[in-house]
Copies of this chain bind each other. A is one copy, B any other.
C-alpha cells in the first residue's frame, strides 16, 4: 500500500529557503509570486498492514524521525496509487 507524508513549517516560522526562492524567481524575471514556503514530501510504500495500523506507524515515524514537531507540522495521506 501507498502513503504520502507532507512536512511543512508551522505558520509563523520563518522560511529562509522560501524567501531565497522568491528572490531568485524575481531575479529571473518571473513575477507575481508573493510568498514561497518549502516543505518535504515523502512517498511511502508499506506492507499490507491495514490503513489504521499504517497511519499509527507513520504517525510514530513522523514524531520520532521525519518531522521536528517544535517548528514543523505533518500530514499523512493513506492510499492512492501514486
Please list the residues of chain A having a beta carbon within 8 angstroms of any beta carbon in chain B: 6, 8, 18, 21, 24-25, 28, 30-47, 49, 53-54, 57, 60-61, 64-66
Contacts and interface: CB of A to CB of B under 8 A. Distances in A.
A41 B44 contact: no
As for how many copies of this chain the complex holds, the number is 2
Given A33-B44, A35-B45, 19 more contacts: A8-B41, A18-B42, A24-B65, A25-B65, A28-B64, A30-B61, A30-B65, A32-B47, A32-B54, A32-B57, A33-B47, A34-B46, A36-B43, A36-B45, A38-B40, A39-B40, A40-B40, A40-B41, A41-B41
A36 B71 CA distance: 23
A42 B32 contact: no
